[in-house]
Amino acid sequence: MKILATLVISLLLFISCGAENIYDNTVLTPINDRDIVETTDSVDVTDEEVEDDNFSDETDESNDEDSNNTEDNQSEIIEEQLVGTWAAIVQYEATTNTAMVGDVGSSSQRYLKMKITKNSGVGISISQIICHINSQAGTGDGDSPLTKGTSFFADSFLTSFHYWRPEDLTPNTPDAFVSINDGIIHFHENQSWELRGMEKMENIITDAMPTEKSDPRIIDHDGDSHPGVTVAFEGMLNGKIYFVERLSRASEGVVLLDGTRIEGHIIWTDEQFTIDATSSTLASQKTTVPNNENSRYIFVKVDESKTCEQIYAEKETLF
């Protein structure tokens, strides 16, 4: 039993989602289509009929080009309207696996304060602060009670990472952009990356993760005198694990409620290498299989004065 409970701790590291002292059961609900912002304008129809239906190919191409230009202009107008401060919850769902335990459900929630600004060209830029992270293991319907527990991260974990925005990558793309299809405003967030517990990679996408404790790239990233970054676990067995992690996230969603709310799902990846632990039985390596279909997010526009503490305290009403 001790080994089984111990292995769960490694499972709980499925995402760099540190938790403080509050267990959170927030569940993101499906998008309500009735709230989707429509962009189609009404058109008055006259009694005058068109006598000639034999339009030329040049006319059709011109109309298509005009339509595309109109949608591009609408997209830029909408992106301007999204400028401001946003509160966010991002919920990561996954199945984690070790050879001895098998598959176990994992769930994590990040609470963010974000600022959206309009680019001079296409798209928008997003800067963000991680306010709070909760993480739970053993969330699957058939998971044993032995696998259940909560992970906790120090405050330094929230700021101790290397970050690549889409604008920083090659080729570079905007952090996010909007498009319009059938009158629905779609919100697209391009892939960003986080790296914890080691020196900054030259290429975050293709460089290899550590596979040995002696890898010289490993650093004490959160400043607690232990290699990598640290997570503490409370469940059937208590302890700390030190690890390296590479995490990516992109998203697809829709703009709701007159541009004051955005909802959708995330597409994410997670790789980890366990360096050490307070007990040798805690140092299991594991794999993470993200559940993108059930990994959701909600962005809500808020006043610029809203603090991280307020966002987390008001999570039940905001989201």
Identify which has the larger pLDDT, 248 or 30.
Answer: 248
pLDDT exceeds 70 at position 7: no
pLDDT exceeds 60 at position 16: no
As a whole number, mean pLDDT of residues 215-239 equals 93
Going by C-beta distance under 8 Å and a sequence separation of 6 or more, which residues neighbour residue 214?
none
Identify which has the larger pLDDT, 83 or 284.
Answer: 83
Domain spans in the chain, listed from the N-terminal domain onward: 2-26+65-318
As a whole number, mean pLDDT of residues 272-282 equals 86
As a whole number, mean pLDDT of residues 67-76 equals 74
Query: Which pLDDT does position 109 carry in this prediction?
Result: 97
Going by C-beta distance under 8 Å and a sequence separation of 6 or more, which residues neighbour residue 59?
none
Ranking 47-51, 114-118, 146-150, 231-235 by mean pLDDT, the lowest is 47-51
Query: Which pLDDT does position 36 carry in this prediction?
Result: 47
Give percent above pLDDT 70 in the chain: 76
Whole-prediction pTM: 0.79
Q: What are phi and psi of 153, to 5 degrees?
A: -120, 145
pLDDT exceeds 90 at position 232: yes
What does the mean pLDDT of the chain come to?
A: 82
As a whole number, mean pLDDT of residues 65-75 equals 68
Query: Which pLDDT does position 73 carry in this prediction?
Result: 86
Query: Which pLDDT does position 15 carry in this prediction?
Result: 41
Q: How confident is the model at residue 99 (pLDDT cuts 50, 70, 90)?
A: low
Question: pLDDT per residue over 255-266, tens digit each?
Answer: 999 999 999 999
C-beta separation of 273 from 210 below 8 A: yes
C-beta separation of 233 from 241 below 8 A: yes
Query: Which pLDDT does position 310 carry in this prediction?
Result: 98
What is the C-alpha to C-alpha distance for residues 206 and 271, in angstroms, rounded to an integer?
Answer: 12
Query: Which pLDDT does position 235 carry in this prediction?
Result: 84
pLDDT exceeds 70 at position 26: no
Kindly tell me the burial class for residue 162, based on how many C-beta atoms sit within 10 Å of its own C-beta (0-12, 13-18, 19 or more). middle
